[in-house]
Amino acid sequence: MSTPETSASRAGGALSGVRVVDLTRVWAGPLGTRTLGDFGAEVIKVSDPRLPADRLGGLYAKLNRNKSSIGLRLDTEVGRRIFLELVAVSDIVVENFRPRVMRNLDLGWDAIREANPSIVMCAMPGFGAEGPYADFPAFGSTGEAMSGVSSLIGYEPGKSLQSGMSYADPVSALNLVGVVMTYLRRSRLTGRGQYIDLALADSPVLMIGEHLVASSATAQTPTLQGNKRPDYAPHGAYRAKGDDKWVAISVTNDDEWQALCSVIGDDRLLDARFSKLSGRKDNEEQLDAVVSEWTGRREPVDVMTQLQAAGVPAGRVATNQDLLADPHLAARDYFVDLDEPEIGLKRYDGQSIIGNYLDKFRWRAAPILGQDSRRVLVNLLGYSDGECEVLGSDGTTVFND
């Protein structure tokens, strides 16, 4: 799909010329730095050379495209020196260890800033650099739970659920992109660097602000709503025709309610109990039964398109396979096929932010550990081939080029 901005104009990407040193792992950090790479930044992933040299599964491959890889032991004096040399010629450093890790390596903010006074450094520990929980390990799932999000998901009291996709991770990744771009701009204008403390578990708290306000004002704990909403009816996921097929419907006002009644064409919906929102909420179980009877005889896509045509918000509950074949995403050129060694072409999610990103024909599959070590050391930092051989033989780095 073509956009008003031609592929030629975005070939280099909006962040061409920006260099990122990436120490991150698992999901939140790698997703944030991947986004920077998609938009043309040079992202150099620094990893311990003692790790396996192959790709570390689907998650690694998904989150580390458009990056280079250098193997480097930061727990040695030589490795630490090389790392700081790399910092000196870069714009951004991102890490998501527990706070004590960078301190123990003597690579805290003071050392980073001394190497490059204009550097933007973003630390993404689970619970921040300071506070009672600072040294707790964390993953997106535990961050999601401790942020309060999980207490709002579920169908009945005492049975809270998690989102199923470690919500803290992608939210923190997007916060990473926004905040480092903000401080990079300031750095370019003033030459002044910045240390950023971006806690994984803090990010989802921003998403539930209305519940915090309500609790602070009334000391009331929100009740689990499942797929329902206190201010809309009908609202939820309704079973459709087929094995485990569903469609989501959200009626938010009386006009949409009238449109829904017209499409379904069932006289039971004309009952006076359903004429007002209050009545629909009081009799929601009976209302949902009528709607479910109608949706259960139809394909989810048919329900979605028919209701949307009438002005009723509706969407099929898509599986992964549904998304890969989705005509709308295909029309928006969303997916990208990357050629991976020994595997071949594999389809991945693309870039949801439409704009001046790196042209997709230039996107690269996730790197093998150390495949760019020689290039970074020789071309960027000025090491000789002989010095590289010494660094490889003593285990400071690894070469897989």
CATH of the domain at 242: 3.30.1540.10
CATH number at residue 160: 3.40.50.10540
Q: Tell me, yes or no, whether 159 lies in a domain.
A: yes
Residue position matching structure tokens 């020196």: 81
Residue 330: how many other CB atoms lie within 10 Å:
12
**Domain contains 93:** yes
> CA dihedral defined by 177, 30, 338, 72, rounded to 10 degrees?
120
pLDDT at 394 exceeding the cut of 90:
yes
Q: Of 324, 350, 367, at which residue does a domain stop? A: 324
The pLDDT value given to residue 5:
38
For residue 159 the two structure tokens come to 């049975």
Give the structural domain span for 100. 19-207+333-393
Domain count, the chain: 2
> Of the candidates 278, 295, 324, which is a domain's last residue?
324
DSSP calls for 283-310 = THHHHHHHHHHHHTTS-HHHHHHHHHHT
3/54: higher pLDDT: 54
Note if the pTM is more than 0.85.
yes
Q: Each residue of 315-342: pLDDT tens digit?
A: 999 999 999 999 999 999 999 999 987 7
Same domain flag for 250 and 306 = yes
Do 265 and 285 share a domain, yes or no?
yes
Q: What is the pLDDT of residue 111?
A: 97
User: 158 and 25 in one domain?
Assistant: yes
The residue assigned the tokens 């929601």 is 284
Confirm whether 217 is domain-assigned. no
Residues 338, 318 share a domain: no
Regarding whether 33 and 180 lie in a shared domain, the answer is yes
Query: Does residue 110 belong to any structural domain of this protein?
Result: yes
Q: Are residues 313 and 338 in the same domain?
A: no
pLDDT tens per residue, range 117-145:
999 999 999 998 989 988 888 888 888 88
Mean pLDDT, rounded, for 365-384: 96
* Tens-digit pLDDT profile for residues 245-296: 999 999 999 999 999 999 999 999 999 999 999 999 999 999 999 999 999 9
Q: Say whether both 166 and 34 belong to one domain.
A: yes
Mark whether 120 and 244 lie in a shared domain. Answer: no
Question: Mind listing the pLDDT tens digit for each residue in 10-23?
Answer: 458 999 999 999 99
Is residue 349 within 8 Å of 329, Cβ to Cβ?
Answer: no
* Block residue for tokens 């961050």: 143
Nearest to 261 by CA among 279, 248, 275: 275
Reported as a single tens digit per residue, the pLDDT across 74-103 is: 999 999 999 999 999 999 999 999 999 999
Partner residues linked to 121 by β-bridges: 93, 195
pLDDT tens-digit series, residues 292-311:
999 999 999 999 999 999 99
**What whole-number distance in Å separates Cα of residue 35 and Cα of residue 41?**
9
Flag whether pLDDT at 157 surpasses 70: yes
Number of H helices, E strands in the chain: 16, 11
Whether residue 151 sits in one domain with residue 46: yes
Per-residue DSSP letter, 186: H
Looking at the structure, tell me whether residues 243 and 274 fall in a common domain: yes
In a domain, 10, yes or no: no
Tokens 């050379």, residue located = 49
* Cα–Cα distance measured from residue 113 to residue 291, given in angstroms and rounded to the nearest whole number: 61
Q: 345 and 316, same structural domain?
A: no
Q: How far is residue 292 CA from its own chain's centroid?
A: 33
In a domain, 5, yes or no: no
> By C-alpha distance, which of 214, 129, 121 is closest to 176?
121
CB proximity list for 157: less than 8 A, separation 6 or greater: 223, 224
End-to-end CA distance of the chain: 35
Mean pLDDT of the 192-217 span: 86
On whether residue 13 sits in a domain, the answer given is: no
Same domain membership, residue 244 and residue 271: yes
Which helix (H) or strand (E) covers residue 324, if one does?
helix 320-324
Place 156 in a pLDDT band, splitting at 50, 70 and 90. Answer: confident
Q: Which residues, 6+ apart, have CB-to-CB distance to 309 below 8 Å? A: none
Distance in angstroms (rounded) separating the CA atoms of residues 369 and 349? 22
Each residue's pLDDT tens digit, 208-258: 877 777 777 777 777 778 888 888 999 999 999 999 999 999 999 999 999
In a domain, 243, yes or no: yes
Q: Which of 302, 324, 346 is the last residue of a domain?
A: 324
CA distance 22 to 94: 5
